[in-house]
């Protein structure tokens, strides 16, 4: 268990970390037992030197100014690789870091604690470890905030990495209720019976083939309870996506446990907003279901109803995310009338083919929101890239038998088509944004051998919320 504190000065007889940009090694010479060690401060590399007392001195490379936004990863790597050697405490020299860098350092150190092997029978033992940030300036709040962010990211990564037999929709609901109770915000969970009563037909249709009933989770953090909702967040919470009757190939199917990555970000951000006491009214809605194969599964060709009242012709049961999102969007707009509305979903393979693992697809008609989100993405190194919502794509969603169909049937512009489908359920909300995080929520990582959760989105959205006027 890591705990975070601040100290005014490095004790050079104990273990410490010297974060260092390229070309600046000289300024740390006074801490070092040798002249000019072999270290070129390349990004996310480190060099261990033993001090006179046998203590550990880590030179941590932060690269050049072009790497500045991503230094979370440098600290994460150092902590991840070396924490097992740290006895009771490790000091971090924060004297030469800016406020943003200190926060990122704390996030990274906290993220280094994440253990992916939650389901191993032999747990690696966790002894208490103090992370001590040293500076003569007052940095307590930055360190505290960074550590809370890192810890919440770890909690949501644990959710995304959890297997679908443990992580049912009801499990996500219980997670949210528990978080709300611990951190002190509001949470309600609509179970199957309430979903039927309130006409969440699209969520129910997607969940029909599973023995685990769907839920819709609403989390509310309202520091100004009499005022309007500043931001509504909506997350896709498919706990496992087999594709349904339009079944997916079995190769890599196990990774479809991560199809609730958007939901995890929404749950994490509301939890964090409450922990950090942001001055912003936020409502999070998560629509969660399992897309399974069964005699009672919904079928291609079915026409279903939806919370909005629009009927939908199902062309492909694997385009399930947009269905549960449609209900969640319609619900949050009708119930909470948020001034801004942002949804996050691991929605399409198409966005993975377009932007790889480097950026989320961003869709919005609001240039102002696009600018602000783009800037937040650069600063947090959780990048977004804007894609169009041209009217041209509307006819692709034409259905002869229903109001709309869930797939164009064409192998082109999949991410845009999905976004256009969602847009049909936003009642032309002028400040709606959709983020397709299929390529960035889960993937290859230097912290696991198989693909794993990245935590993408938490810093992006948190930073965006902090920037709201
Ligand atoms: N959950 C998938 C999208 C996905 C793909 C997420 C790869 C993460 C990695 C989504 O439900 C899906 O299956 N989308 C289909 C839609 C198609 C059938 C219209 C897709 O993108 O292929
Ligand atoms: Zn699917
Ligand atoms: Zn899916």
Domain boundary among 135, 163, 198: 135
**Spatial CB neighbours of 18, under 8 Å, sequence gap ≥ 6:** 28, 31, 57, 58, 59, 60, 93
Q: What's the confidence (pLDDT) of residue 226?
A: 97
Inside any domain, residue 144:
no
Q: Is 386 a catalytic residue?
A: no
Quote the domain boundaries for residue 187.
151-466
Q: Which band of pLDDT confidence, cut at 50, 70 and 90, is reported for residue 434?
A: very high
Give residue 320 CA to ligand 3 midpoint distance, Å.
Answer: 6
Residues 363 and 345 sit within 8 Å (Cβ to Cβ): no
Q: What is the CATH number of the domain that holds 447?
A: 3.40.630.10
Residue 381, by phi and psi: left (phi above 0), alpha (psi -120 to 50) or beta? Answer: left
Q: Check whether residue 196 and residue 294 sit in a common domain.
A: yes
Return the sign of the alpha-carbon dihedral for residues 444, 447, 453, 455: negative
Residue 173 has pLDDT above 90, yes or no: yes
**Spatial CB neighbours of 194, under 8 Å, sequence gap ≥ 6:** none
Q: Check whether residue 385 and residue 355 sit in a common domain.
A: yes
Q: Check whether residue 82 and residue 163 sit in a common domain.
A: no
Q: What's the confidence (pLDDT) of residue 126?
A: 81
Q: Give me the residue label for tokens 């845009």.
A: 416
Total-model pTM = 0.98
Q: What's the confidence (pLDDT) of residue 66?
A: 95
Who lines ligand 1 at CB under 6 A?
A: 241, 259, 316, 318-321, 346-350, 352, 407, 414, 438
Pairing mode of beta strands 215-221, 129-134: unpaired
Which residues are in the CB-under-5-Å shell of ion ligand 2? Answer: 241, 318, 320
Q: How many CA atoms are closer than 13 Å to the CA of 466, on its beta-carbon side?
A: 17
Residue 124 has pLDDT above 90, yes or no: no
The pLDDT tens digits for 236-290 are 999 999 999 999 999 999 999 999 999 999 999 999 999 999 999 999 999 999 9
Which of 320, 348, 443 for mutating ligand 1's site (highest number of atoms within 8 Å of CB)?
348
CA–CA separation, 277 vs 360, rounded Å?
27
Considering 14, 130, 192, 248, which one is annotated as catalytic?
A: 248
Give residue 404 CA to ligand 3 midpoint distance, Å.
Answer: 19
Atom of ligand 1 minimally distant from the CA of 406 = 19
CA–CA separation, 354 vs 351, rounded Å?
5
Element (H, E) at 219: strand 215-221
Q: Give me the residue label for tokens 């109001």.
A: 403
Give residue 347 CA to ligand 1 midpoint distance, Å.
Answer: 6
Atom of ligand 1 minimally distant from the CA of 408 = 19
Tally of domains in the chain: 2
Q: What is the CATH number of the domain that holds 77?
A: 3.40.220.10
Q: Is 248 a catalytic residue?
A: yes
């Amino acid at each position: 268990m890591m705990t975070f504190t601040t100290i005014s000065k490095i004790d050079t007889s104990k273990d410490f970390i010297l974060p260092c940009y390229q070309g600046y090694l000289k300024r740390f010479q006074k801490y070092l037992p040798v002249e000019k060690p072999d270290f070129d401060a390349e990004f996310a590399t480190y060099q261990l030197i033993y001090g006179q007392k046998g203590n550990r001195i880590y030179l941590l490379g932060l690269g050049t100014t072009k790497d500045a936004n991503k230094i979370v990863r440098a600290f994460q790597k150092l902590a991840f690789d070396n924490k097992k050697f740290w006895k009771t405490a490790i000091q971090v020299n924060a004297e030469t870091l800016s406020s943003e860098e200190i926060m990122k350092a704390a996030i990274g150190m906290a993220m280094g604690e994440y253990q992916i092997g939650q389901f191993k029978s032999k747990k690696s033992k966790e002894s208490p470890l103090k992370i001590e940030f040293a500076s003569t300036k007052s940095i307590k709040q930055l360190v505290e905030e960074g550590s809370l962010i890192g810890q919440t990211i770890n909690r949501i990564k644990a959710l995304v990495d959890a297997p679908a037999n443990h992580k049912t929709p009801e499990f996500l609901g219980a997670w949210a209720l528990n978080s709300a109770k611990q951190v002190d915000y509001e949470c309600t969970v609509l179970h199957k019976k309430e979903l039927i009563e309130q006409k969440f037909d699209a969520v129910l249709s997607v969940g029909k083939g599973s023995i685990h009933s769907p839920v819709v989770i609403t989390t509310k953090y309202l520091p100004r309870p009499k005022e309007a909702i500043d931001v509504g967040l909506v997350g896709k919470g498919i706990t496992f996506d087999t594709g349904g009757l339009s079944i997916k190939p079995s190769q890599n199917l196990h990774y479809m446990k991560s199809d609730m990555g958007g939901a995890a970000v929404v749950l994490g951000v509301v939890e964090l907003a409450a922990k950090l006491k942001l001055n912003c009214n936020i409502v999070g809605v998560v629509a969660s279901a399992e897309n399974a194969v069964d005699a009672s599964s919904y079928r291609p060709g079915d026409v279903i109803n939806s919370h909005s009242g629009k009927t939908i012709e199902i062309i492909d049961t694997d385009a399930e995310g947009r269905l549960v999102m449609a209900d969640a969007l319609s619900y949050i707009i009708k119930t909470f009338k948020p001034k801004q509305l942002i949804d996050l979903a691991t929605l399409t393979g198409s966005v993975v083919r377009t932007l790889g693992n480097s950026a989320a697809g961003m869709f919005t008609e609001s240039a102002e929101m696009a600018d602000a989100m783009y800037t937040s993405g650069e600063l947090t190194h959780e990048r977004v890239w804007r894609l169009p919502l041209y009217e041209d794509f509307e006819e692709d969603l034409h259905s002869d038998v229903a109001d709309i169909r869930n797939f164009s049937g064409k192998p082109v512009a999949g991410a845009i088509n999905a976004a256009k489908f969602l847009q049909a359920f936003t009642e032309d909300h002028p400040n709606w944004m959709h983020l397709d995080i299929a390529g960035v929520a889960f993937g290859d990582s230097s912290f696991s051998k198989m693909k794993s959760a990245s935590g993408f989105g938490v810093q992006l959205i948190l930073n965006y919320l902090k920037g709201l006027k």
